[in-house]
Amino acid sequence: MAGTVPVTFVPAGKTVWVSPGTTVLQAAQSAGIVIPAPCGGAGRCGKCAVRVIEGTPPEPGVVEVRGLKLAPRGMRLACLLKVESPLTVRPVIAQPTRSLGATEVREPGRELLAAVDLGTTSVQAVVVDAESGLELGRSSVPNAQQSWGSDVMARVGAALEGHGPALQKAAEDSILQALQNACGHAGGCLRNVTRLVIAGNTVMVALLFSDDVSTLAEAPYEAATTRTRSLSGDARVTQELGSSAEITVLPGVGGFVGGDLAAGLAVSGLQDYDDPGMFIDLGTNAEIAVFTKGSVSVSSAAAGPAFEGYGIANGGPALDGAVERVRFTDGRLALKVIGGGEPHWLCGSGLVSAIRALRDAGHIGSDGRMTPDGPLSSDFTEIDGIVAVTLRGSQGAGVVLTQKDIRSFQLAKGAVAAGLALVAQEAGIKPRKRMRFIVAGAFGSALDPDDLVELGVLPQEAGDGVHLAGNTSLLGAAMVAVRPDVVERIEDMVSRAMHVELAMDDRFNEVFLASMSLEPYSLKKRMRMSS
């Protein structure tokens, strides 16, 4: 092919021909290989690292050299490495998407119900037997849109720059991949799915429908629509499932409060209590709901991906190799690694517990500042003038945590705690001890609610009344797949919900700054501040 050069990705064994000057990240997108790009390709996070196996790449520029300090040795950054001549590369983290063809054959008589949580970072699917209601398979795949940035605003920006069609395709690919994997576990195929329910945040749903997202780019943030929708007959998901499949996309509440929160509220059961209760979905876009006397107030806060283990120097998903828990006991750290092997990165619960452990050891102050003085001083170092510590388990291998990571966590928890106080204030609740708190999110199963209170993510009033609910968006969507009439309950709740827009609230910055410290706080006092 004249004027183009091949890039081969191993171990997927896929080759794509691209124009000279194309980045390896763009080539990966064309090849259907998902390389996470949490910083949106700015060369700042080092997560898109690839090893050049064959070929002669151009020398790295200043920005890439800086970004490479966060990547393993001998790598290049896919987002900045331009293809000038044939290359073969091996991404450090990548997942190929399989193409789905018409080879799938419907298993006669088998009816499956399916639900999908279309998240910013990952897409999860569950498949249920229509007759027995038994769950038959689950699956989680990275959202292929990660190559356009890690948070919803980066994706909105990419869509406005003309990448909308590619983002829509990436969403469809991810949904189909997750569904196909879950169907595979269930011994069925996509054509067996007779009903699919999708829940997602406002931006993910807007990109799936290729809506105009310009109203989500600036305040007052508004979605094109918040009603219950269905995918058209032309949509790839509809075509893969077959036109007879019923597809429902759950309604959002408004602003950045989407159908994922609506689905979560339906399963929380908080509306059935007279006492006040709070629901928090700790995602990249943290969503908050406060129930009191039959009414619900909702909002969202831009927390960044720290709670999900992303956006930090050594972070990643809650999969084998991730540190899911850190404890400081007997003068040393104890690490719990998913799968039991060597630690490779911190997932969300690992990050939270690591900060708590370092607080307990006296190496992090309430202002978030790290100090090498203390029992773990020999594990401290500096990377580019930034204080860092290697979290080591008994085997000696470790994961590095930097001062910058602590700041990312503080920004995330500050946004959540400030959001909680302001929404509680608007809802007019009277905080009391042992309030009901439901915490949803994909942070790993080892999260200790006590860490959330001690680090000031949740208020002291949560006490031991915290219930970790996992992925409630997926659960709510599955509820609707099994019992379609539940959607009416969700629509009713959505129509009655009061949406609190934090971005328009002058008090937010002050409460946010007060909420950054890593210590327990009283919701009552914080609310007083925002009154």
Footprint of ligand FES on this chain (CB under 6 A)? 37-39, 41, 43-48, 67, 77, 79
Residue closer to ligand FES by CB (options 41, 419) is: 41
Helix-strand-coil split of the chain, %, nearest 5: 35, 25, 40
Task: Work out the end-to-end distance of the chain between its first and last CA atoms, rounded to an integer number of angstroms.
Answer: 66
Amino acid symbol at 463 = G
Minimum CB separation from ligand FES for residue 531, in Å? Answer: 41
Residue closer to ligand FES by CB (options 65, 504) is: 65
Q: Are 93 and 310 in contact (CB under 8 A)?
A: no
Minimum CB separation from ligand FES for residue 44, in Å? Answer: 5
CA distance 349 to 449: 10
Q: Are 116 and 259 in contact (CB under 8 A)?
A: no
Minimum CB separation from ligand FES for residue 41, in Å? Answer: 5
Residue closer to ligand FES by CB (options 80, 263) is: 80
Structure tokens at 105: 């054959």
Q: Among 208, 206, 200, which residue's Cα sits nearest to residue 169?
A: 208
Minimum CB separation from ligand FES for residue 60, in Å? Answer: 12
Minimum CB separation from ligand FES for residue 371, in Å? Answer: 29
At 143, is the secondary structure helix, strand, or coil? coil
Minimum CB separation from ligand FES for residue 150, in Å? Answer: 9
CA distance 418 to 432: 18
Please give the C-alpha separations between residue 473 and each of 20, 119, 397, in angstroms, as whole numbers.
42, 9, 36
Residue closer to ligand FES by CB (options 150, 410) is: 150
Residue closer to ligand FES by CB (options 65, 219) is: 65
Minimum CB separation from ligand FES for residue 189, in Å? Answer: 35
What does DSSP assign to residue 289?
A: E
Residue closer to ligand FES by CB (options 43, 393) is: 43
Residue closer to ligand FES by CB (options 39, 514) is: 39
Q: What is the dihedral of CA 248, 254, 255, 258, to 10 degrees?
A: -30
Q: How many CA atoms lie within 13 A of 6 on its CB side?
A: 9
Minimum CB separation from ligand FES for residue 390, in Å? Answer: 22
Residue closer to ligand FES by CB (options 91, 393) is: 91
CA distance 323 to 316: 9
Extended beta strands in 351-395, E state: 380-383, 386-392
Minimum CB separation from ligand FES for residue 77, in Å? Answer: 5
Residue closer to ligand FES by CB (options 71, 204) is: 71
Quickly list DSSP for 479-496: HHHH-TTHHHHHHHHHHH
Minimum CB separation from ligand FES for residue 440, in Å? Answer: 28
Residue closer to ligand FES by CB (options 78, 354) is: 78
Please give the C-alpha separations between residue 478 and each of 126, 127, 434, 472, in angstroms, as whole numbers.
7, 8, 30, 9
Residue closer to ligand FES by CB (options 161, 506) is: 161
R_g (Cα) of the chain, nearest Å:
23
CA distance 360 to 354: 10
CA distance 390 to 468: 29
Residue closer to ligand FES by CB (options 81, 516) is: 81
Minimum CB separation from ligand FES for residue 68, in Å? Answer: 9
Residue closer to ligand FES by CB (options 93, 468) is: 93
CA distance 462 to 250: 30
Q: Which helix (H) or strand (E) holds 333?
A: strand 332-337
Minimum CB separation from ligand FES for residue 160, in Å? Answer: 19
Q: Give the list of residues 6+ apart from residue 249 with CB closer than 8 angstroms, or none.
A: 197, 198, 199, 200, 205, 208, 209, 228, 229, 230, 231, 259
Minimum CB separation from ligand FES for residue 37, in Å? Answer: 3
Tallying the residues shown for the chain, one arrives at 531
